[in-house]
Structure 1
Amino acid sequence: MKVPRYCVGQLVNVVGHCAGEPFNNDFFVQCRILCPADDGTYFVRVLKSDGYSIVDEDSISAYPLYDQEKPADRKRIRVVFFGNGLFALPTLKKLVEQGYDVAAVVTMEDKPCGRGNKVSPSPVKTYAESQGIIVYQPRNLDSDDFLQAIRDMNPTVGVVVEYRILPQSLFKIPKWGVINLHSSLLPVYRGASTITSAIKDGKGITGVTTFLINSGLDKGNIINNLATYIGDNDSAEDIHIQLRTNGAVMVDDAIQRIAHSCNGIPQSDLICDFIQPSHAPKLFRKDAYIPWCDSAYRVHNFIRAHSSVIGGQYYPKTPAIAGSVSTAWTSLKMIDSDSATDVKIHKVSKTGIPRGYHAPGEWFWQDGSLMVACQDNLLSVDILQLPGKKRMTAKEYHNGFRGVCKGFCDISPDDKDETTSEK
């Protein structure tokens, strides 16, 4: 990806025809950048016509807010990093590799993780210790001893990625404040299940945002953002990887912008037809129960939105912070069985085949594919997982059942467990 030269909220001049204006208009039209994209383009709002356009960087005429060829001395910027899992790890690595003075890492306490419930450190802690960085795992972020330890470091800036809500007594300590990396294009999808919500809602675009923490939940001034396009078949796993990679670069960009006295933009300045505040709530296991009575399009989005991250996110029994919460699942009862089995569905494909006489939730083998009926069309199940087993293809599942693949999924999840949550 290319680090954007211009940033969100910046007023720029764009060549008129590139912004969708007729040739007989002014050569340049004024636009406000709503978000740069990781393909090097910019999504802008054309102020004169109140329209929207996607433009290349070469069509923009404006002074950048700082000279990227002359970065602030990273060795003189002392960072305290707050983070936890796989989404946070690339950012911490980037800060270390870029030469920032990472004075300490603050992460969650070691907790049971994985199939054997073995007490394990977070990925962030493991990496920090390998680099000789001091690690703190406080239960109480407001404790006097912990706050004093952070003050004694005299940090220039704090960075938060995939961690808890910081109290004001803590985020007021660093000289430049605390930067939060968030996995959406704020103010869209404030909250916990950002990636899942974007894919489930059928959005074609999402991204990362860096902002300065204040007392509101994900409501601080935006430093910059970066859009990523969501493909028709992209899963939450795919987007999670893309965003955590882009996010690491954008945190470095955010620190440099603050070092060059760039002020953040209030989120309210970005609200328009295409950008409206929304909430991505904390999700539980029951929220990943597949709604087979919906259209095949919506069910396909639902399943890829709830795809899990390979290797598991840290703390699988707690709500997700950035990404999918629980793998999409269904309760399946085979015709030759008296009991139902919970089955995780990792990947499906659209077929365009009408469901015909098949009831929503009906599960059967047809023409070499494992099919499930939805409200209108059939979906082909590609990858699934039985309890206590590894992921398997539909063909492997078919072979394991000796060709018997006929059953019905429960389409009434109302009685499912509402207290269990997982990443």
Structure 2
Amino acid sequence: MRVVFFGSSLFSSSILNSLYKEGVQFPLVVTKKPKEKGRGKKELPTPVGKIARESTLPLIEIDNPNTVEMEVAIKKTGVDVLLLAAYGAILKENILSAVTYPLNIHPSLLPKYRGVAPIIRAIMHGESKTGVTIFIMNKEIDTGEIVIKKELDIGQDEVATELEQRLADFSVELALDVLKEIEKGKPLALTQQNEGVALYAPKIRKEELQINWVENAGKVAGKIKGLSYKPGAYTYFRGERLKILRALAIPEKPTGSNPGEIFKVGDKIAVACEEGSVEVSQIQLSGKKMMDARSFVNGYHINVGEKLG
């Protein structure tokens, strides 16, 4: 099967790489332009650009894909399928109409969590299930007719980075099923989205990264897991920024413990919230490597009664 692929993120690069290894042919890959990163301001390609180069796939790096030149480039490939996964821009009608099947792989159970941060928001909101939806793109954001949708359980201790990889792997299975149906010439069974239960997953704002201990433990733990490993939810400890990368909510909270107060140290660090507590198992101080709670306790001589935040 020959497919034009649009994508830019780690999620989409994993899908591209796996589909390529499964024998899907890509006469054209489209990704965002390289960005300057690091202290040396060196231009680095997107994860998709990196995979395309390593696999010597035809590549266009462009931030505005809705040009006549792009439309012509797609039509020249002669493909029927365009597959998009986390490209980072909305495709307009001239691009969508250049193929018969403009498909989008979205890591949520649409119409829930439309938008740019579906994985993070699902975990932050305490969902126990998520999934992958492949749908036909239209001019709106994530509202097109659904081709296939399947559920995936979210692990109790699973963080966003881990879930993202599992969803990418799951996406490959679904995409291959859909591509096989198209290749056989079978009409796709399409389902309209239920607008009555639609939920949006907007971009994470900087002010959302800081942990507010004056919240219930479930919400605090959801934020920590949803933002891990990057960008990472943070608090302050002894005046330094401290990222908390892994934590679970627990009902225990000693009488008299204030929000943000450490009340137990050991293999895990128990921190009081407004309601309940969280057990922290992995952290990262600013400029330091990640470490488990026990290493942090031993290395920094953490005491019961110290305050975070």
Above 0.5 in TM-score? yes
Aligned to 2:108: 184
Aligned to 2:284: 385
How many angstroms does 1:258 deviate by? 3.5
How many angstroms does 1:264 deviate by? 1.6
Q: Please, which of 186, 190, 193 is the counterpart of residue 267 of structure 1? A: 193
Give runs of aligned pairs for residues 174-253 of structure 1, distance below 5 A.
174=99, 176-253=100-177
Pairwise CA RMSD of aligned residues? 2.2
| CA distance in structure 2 between the partners assigned to 1:403 and 1:167 by the alignment | 55
Conserved? CA contact 2:262–2:307, under 8 Å: yes
Evaluate the alpha carbon distance shift between residue 216 and residue 245 of structure 1 in structure 2; reply closer, same or farther with a 3 A threshold.
same
| 2:199 paired with 1:278 | yes
TM-score normalized by the length of structure 1:
0.67
Aligned to 2:94: 169
Amino acid at match of 2:298: N
Looking at secondary structure, tell me which structure has more helix per residue. 2
Gaps of 5+ in 2: none
Amino acid at match of 1:347: R
TM-score normalized by the length of structure 2:
0.91
Per-residue CA deviations over 1:295-351 (Å, capped at 9, x if unaligned) read 222222221111126xxxxxxxxxxxxxxxx3111133x3xxxxx222110012344
Per-residue CA deviations over 1:254-294 (Å, capped at 9, x if unaligned) read 223334112321113xx78xxx2111111122112212111
Secondary structure, in 3 states, of the residue corresponding to 1:150? helix
Evaluate the alpha carbon distance shift between residue 114 and residue 178 of structure 1 in structure 2; reply closer, same or farther with a 3 A threshold.
farther
Aligned to 1:139: 63
How many angstroms does 1:158 deviate by? 0.4
Secondary structure, in 3 states, of the residue corresponding to 2:252? strand
Per-residue CA deviations over 1:67-122 (Å, capped at 9, x if unaligned) read xxxxxxx3xxx311001121112321233233333101101111134576542112
| 2:214 paired with 1:347 | no
Q: Please, which of 309, 330, 342 is the counterpart of residue 235 of structure 2? A: 330
Evaluate the alpha carbon distance shift between residue 110 and residue 386 of structure 1 in structure 2; reply closer, same or farther with a 3 A threshold.
same
Aligned to 2:222: 301
Evaluate the alpha carbon distance shift between residue 351 and residue 144 of structure 1 in structure 2; reply closer, same or farther with a 3 A threshold.
closer
Which of 1 and 2 has greater Rg? 1
| CA distance in structure 2 between the partners assigned to 1:223 and 1:108 by the alignment | 26
| CA distance in structure 2 between the partners assigned to 1:366 and 1:266 by the alignment | 51
Conserved? CA contact 2:267–2:293, under 8 Å: no
Aligned positions, number: 306
Amino acid at match of 2:257: H
Give runs of aligned pairs for residues 92-171 of structure 1, distance below 5 A.
92-113=16-37, 117-163=41-87, 164-171=89-96
Aligned to 1:395: 294
Evaluate the alpha carbon distance shift between residue 403 and residue 205 of structure 1 in structure 2; reply closer, same or farther with a 3 A threshold.
closer
How many angstroms does 1:408 deviate by? 2.6
| CA distance in structure 2 between the partners assigned to 1:79 and 1:349 by the alignment | 42
